[in-house]
């Protein structure tokens, strides 16, 4: 029962597709009443319809701070409280630093960092007042390791980690926990550019210790763990769900260490 979230109200931002949709369905399966929020209102409604029951949906742009505040306030008014908020949306413009435009920089930072701040602030105001709650924001392996073309995305995801830590420090006295999830390479719309290039796709699969990509459903467990009482003493953390990507520091297997090596 530690991992159940029966009777809790969970607002899942980004639930129209990918990880967000999987988390919304997973939260409902674990007993939560789910509010599906996404910039694509029709996609959020489709996820809510697939859940059925008391699930609801609405359009939400996390770059619009007043809209975020109102969406969470509406959920709290409707259900009497707001127990869990998960924020998954991100965008990535893969370009060298020297080719980035000011407009592209602002767009990535606005969604990934400012949008996450808007969610944390609005959820924090409600949860600190009620004296409980769990906020989970999505970071990335790129908060820890980078590659060419990931400068602004990586900076925004590193910023999310520090935002989460600061929020955990400020909200903890009110019984509110704040954590981040750091996915590795996941098969979602955000990674469609990579999937179109077979060599790029295979290289990413090989970089993971498990030698494969993750499905969105494989990120549900880590996320809901942070939402549940099983994580009641966990706050201010970055939980990596990356198939071991950040655990290894190279691509070369030394002689004698391959998996087919016979030991005498």
In a domain, 256, yes or no: no
pLDDT attached to residue 74: 98
Both tokens of residue 12? 């899942």
**CA–CA gap between residue 110 and residue 167 (Å, rounded):** 19
pLDDT attached to residue 106: 98
Give the total number of structural domains in the chain. Answer: 1
In a domain, 2, yes or no: no
In a domain, 164, yes or no: yes
Q: String of b and e for 117-140 (b: at least 16 CB within 10 Å)? A: bbbbebbbebbbeeeebbbbbbbb
Q: Please give the chain's pLDDT, 264 residues, in tens.
A: 899 999 999 999 999 999 999 999 999 999 999 999 999 999 999 999 999 998 999 999 999 999 999 999 999 999 999 999 999 999 999 999 999 999 999 999 999 999 999 999 999 999 999 999 999 999 999 999 999 999 999 999 999 999 999 999 999 999 999 999 999 999 887 787 888 888 888 988 888 899 999 999 999 999 999 999 999 999 999 999 999 999 987 666 666 656 554 443
In a domain, 126, yes or no: yes
Pick the catalytic residue from 100, 153, 201, 233: 153
Domain with residue 23: its CATH number is 3.40.50.720
Smallest Cα–Cα separation from 234: which of 149, 177, 188? Answer: 177
What's the pTM? Answer: 0.93
pLDDT attached to residue 140: 97
Domain that holds residue 146: 9-241
In a domain, 213, yes or no: yes
**CA–CA gap between residue 153 and residue 96 (Å, rounded):** 12
In a domain, 254, yes or no: no
In a domain, 189, yes or no: yes
In a domain, 83, yes or no: yes
Give yes or no: 153 in active site.
yes
């Amino acid at each position: 029962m530690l991992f159940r979230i029966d009777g809790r109200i969970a607002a899942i931002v980004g639930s129209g597709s990918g990880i967000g949709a999987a988390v919304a369905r997973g939260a409902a399966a674990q007993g939560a009443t789910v509010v599906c929020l996404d910039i694509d209102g029709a996609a959020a409604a489709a996820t809510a319809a697939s859940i059925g029951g008391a699930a609801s949906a609405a359009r939400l742009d996390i770059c619009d701070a007043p809209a975020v505040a109102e969406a969470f306030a509406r959920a709290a008014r409707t259900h009497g409280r707001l127990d869990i908020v998960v924020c998954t949306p991100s965008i990535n413009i893969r370009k060298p630093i020297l080719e980035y435009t000011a407009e592209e920089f602002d767009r990535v930072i606005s969604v990934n960092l400012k949008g996450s701040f808007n969610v944390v602030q609005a959820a924090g105001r409600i949860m600190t007042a009620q004296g409980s709650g769990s906020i989970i924001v999505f970071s990335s392996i790129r908060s820890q390791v980078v590659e060419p073309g990931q400068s602004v995305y990586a900076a925004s995801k590193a910023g999310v980690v520090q935002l989460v830590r600061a929020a955990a420090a400020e909200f903890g006295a009110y019984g509110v926990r704040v954590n981040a999830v750091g996915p590795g390479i996941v098969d979602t719309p955000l990674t469609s550019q990579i999937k179109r290039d077979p060599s790029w796709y295979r290289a990413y699969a090989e970089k993971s210790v498990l030698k494969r990509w993750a499905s969105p459903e494989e990120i549900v467990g880590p996320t809901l763990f942070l939402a549940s009482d099983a994580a009641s003493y966990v706050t201010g953390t970055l939980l990596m769900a990356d198939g071991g990507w950040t655990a290894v520091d190279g691509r070369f297997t030394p002689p004698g260490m391959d998996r087919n090596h016979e030991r005498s």
